[in-house]
Structure 1
Amino acid sequence: MFESLLFDLMLVILLGILSQWVAWKYRLPAIVVMSVAGLLVGPIFGLINPQETMGDLFGPIITFAVAIILFEGSLNLDVREIRGFSKPVGRIVTIGAFIAWIAGSLAAHFLAGLSWEVSFIIGGLFIVTGPTVILPLLRQAKLKPRPAAILKWEGIVVDPFGALLAVFAFEFIKFINSEVTLKSLLLFFAASAFAVFIGWLAALIIGNAFERGSIPEYLKAPILFVVVLFTFVFSDEIMHETGLLAVTAMGMKMANMRLTTLNDVRHFKENISVLLISGIFVMLTASLDPKILIEIFNPAIITYVAAMLFVVRPLSIWISTIGTDLNYRERLLIGWIAPRGIVALTVSGYFATILLENGYEDAELLTALTFALVLFTVILHGFSIGFLAKKLNLTTTDESGVAIIGGARFSAALAESIKDTGNEVLLVDQGWAALAEARKRGLPNYVGDILSEQVEYHLDLTPYRYMLAMTKVDTYNAHICADFAPDLGRQHLFQTAFHVGQDVETFKIAGGQKLFSPSISIYSLEERMHAGHVIRKTMITKQYSYTQYLRERDDKSILLYILRADGLIEFFTPKVELQAAAGDAIIALTSPAKTIERVMERLDGGSGESSIPYEQLEEKFNEEPSGGKRNIPGAAPASTKKVE
Structure 2
Amino acid sequence: MAIEQAASSLGTVPAVALVGALGVGSQWLAWRLQLPAIVLMLVAGVLVGPVLGLLNPAQEFGELLPPLIALAVAVILFEGGLTLNLHKLGDARAGVLRLVLIGAPLGWLLSALALHYAAGLGWEAASVFGGIMIVTGPTVIAPLLRHARLQKRPAALLQWEAIVNDPIGAMAAVAAFHVVLTRLGGDTNGFVDLAARMGFATMVGLAAGYGIVKVFKGGRIPEYMKVPVLFAVLLAAFALSDHVLHESGLLAVTVMGLVIANADLPSYEELRRFKEHATVLLVSGVFILLAASLDFAALGKLTWRAVLFVAVVALLARPATVLISLIGTAVPWKERLLIALTGPRGVVLVAVAGLFGERLVAADVADGALIGPLAFALVAATVVLHGFTLTPLARWLGLADGETAGVLLVGGSRLSTALAEALAKAEVPVLIADPNHSHLFRARTAGIPTFYGDILGEAAENSVEFLSFRVVVAMTDNDAYNTLVTTDLAPEFGRDNVWQLERARDADSRHALPTQLGGKRIGAGRGYRAYEQLLRDGWTFRVTRISEEFGFENWREKHPEAIVFATLSRTQDLTFPSNGDPTVPAGARIISLVPASVPSSKATAENEAAAD
Counterparts of residues 399-548 of structure 1 (less than 5 Å): 401-404=406-409, 414=416, 418=420, 424-425=430-431, 443=452, 445-447=454-456, 460-464=465-469, 468=473, 520=523, 524-526=526-528, 528=530
1:374 aligns with 2:376: no
Structure 1 residue 301: Cα displacement: 1.2
Give the Cα separation in 1 of the matches to 2:537 and 2:94: 42
Counterparts of residues 97-112 of structure 1 (less than 5 Å): 97-112=104-119
Q: Tell me the TM-score normalised to structure 1 length.
A: 0.68
Query: Is the contact between residue 63 and residue 350 of structure 1 (CA under 8 Å) also seen in structure 2?
Result: no
Moved more, 101-110 or 122-131: 122-131
Query: What is residue 150 of structure 1 aligned with on the other side?
Result: 154
Query: What is residue 123 of structure 1 aligned with on the other side?
Result: 130
Q: 1:446 to 1:301 in 2, by over 3 A?
A: farther
- Which of 262, 267, 284 does residue 278 from structure 1 map onto? 284
Counterparts of residues 236-385 of structure 1 (less than 5 Å): 236-295=242-301, 298-325=303-330, 328-349=333-354, 351-352=356-357, 361-385=366-390
Structure 1 residue 283: Cα displacement: 1.5
- Which of 240, 257, 266 does residue 234 from structure 1 map onto? 240
Q: 1:180 to 1:355 in 2, by over 3 A?
A: closer
Q: 1:482 to 1:443 in 2, by over 3 A?
A: closer
1:202 aligns with 2:205: no
Structure 1 residue 242: Cα displacement: 2.5
- The amino acid of 2:199's aligned partner reads A
Give the Cα separation in 1 of the matches to 2:391 and 2:527: 38
Structure 1 residue 372: Cα displacement: 1.9
Query: Is the contact between residue 95 and residue 320 of structure 1 (CA under 8 Å) also seen in structure 2?
Result: yes
Moved more, 183-192 or 119-128: 119-128
Structure 1 residue 394: Cα displacement: 5.1
Give the Cα separation in 2 of the matches to 1:36 and 1:84: 38
Query: Cα deviation per residue 1:345-381 (whole Å; 9 max; x = unaligned)?
Result: 4444455566556665544433322222222223223
Give the Cα separation in 1 of the matches to 2:437 and 2:225: 34
Structure 1 residue 51: Cα displacement: 1.2
Query: What is residue 490 of structure 1 aligned with on the other side?
Result: none
Q: What is the root-mean-square deviation of aligned Cα atoms in Å?
A: 4.9
Query: Cα deviation per residue 1:244-292 (whole Å; 9 max; x = unaligned)?
Result: 2222221121122222222222233222222222222212222222212
Q: 1:410 to 1:456 in 2, by over 3 A?
A: closer
Give the Cα separation in 1 of the matches to 2:377 and 2:495: 30
Query: Cα deviation per residue 1:384-422 (whole Å; 9 max; x = unaligned)?
Result: 344444555555538774235xx6x68996279749979
Structure 1 residue 212: Cα displacement: 1.5
Give the Cα separation in 2 of the matches to 1:214 and 1:437: 38
Q: 1:53 to 1:468 in 2, by over 3 A?
A: same
Give the Cα separation in 1 of the matches to 2:170 and 2:22: 29
Query: What is residue 166 of structure 2 aligned with on the other side?
Result: 162
Query: What is residue 66 of structure 1 aligned with on the other side?
Result: 73
Moved more, 57-66 or 215-224: 57-66
Give the Cα separation in 2 of the matches to 1:390 and 1:344: 28
Query: Cα deviation per residue 1:596-629 (whole Å; 9 max; x = unaligned)?
Result: xxxxxxxxxxxxxxxxxxxxxxxxxxxxxxxxxx
Query: Is the contact between residue 90 and residue 462 of structure 2 (CA under 8 Å) also seen in structure 1?
Result: no
Give 5+ residue unaligned stretches, structure 1.
428-434, 449-454, 486-492, 503-513, 541-549, 563-567, 580-585, 596-644
Give the Cα separation in 1 of the matches to 2:533 and 2:97: 51
Give the Cα separation in 2 of the matches to 1:75 and 1:156: 11
Query: Is the contact between residue 537 and residue 587 of structure 1 (CA under 8 Å) also seen in structure 2?
Result: no
Q: 1:329 to 1:268 in 2, by over 3 A?
A: closer
Q: 1:104 to 1:199 in 2, by over 3 A?
A: same
SS in 1 for 2:28: helix
Q: 1:126 to 1:501 in 2, by over 3 A?
A: farther
Q: 1:412 to 1:571 in 2, by over 3 A?
A: farther
- The amino acid of 1:425's aligned partner reads L
Give the Cα separation in 1 of the matches to 2:537 and 2:65: 62
Paired positions, count:
533
- Which of 219, 226, 229 does residue 220 from structure 1 map onto? 226
Counterparts of residues 10-89 of structure 1 (less than 5 Å): 10-82=17-89, 84-85=91-92, 87-89=94-96
Give the Cα separation in 1 of the matches to 2:16 and 2:330: 51
Q: Tell me the TM-score normalised to structure 2 length.
A: 0.71
Query: What is residue 582 of structure 1 aligned with on the other side?
Result: none
SS in 1 for 2:102: helix
- The amino acid of 2:157's aligned partner reads W
Give the Cα separation in 1 of the matches to 2:343 and 2:377: 14
Give the Cα separation in 1 of the matches to 2:370 and 2:529: 66
Give the Cα separation in 1 of the matches to 2:438 and 2:116: 56
Query: Is the contact between residue 344 and residue 370 of structure 1 (CA under 8 Å) also seen in structure 2?
Result: yes
Query: Cα deviation per residue 1:306-344 (whole Å; 9 max; x = unaligned)?
Result: 001111122123323334455554443332232333444
Query: What is residue 173 of structure 1 aligned with on the other side?
Result: 177
Structure 1 residue 214: Cα displacement: 0.9
Structure 1 or 2, whichever has the larger Rg, is 1
- The amino acid of 1:187's aligned partner reads D
Give 5+ residue unaligned stretches, structure 2.
1-5, 441-450, 476-481, 509-519, 543-555, 598-612
Identity %: 34
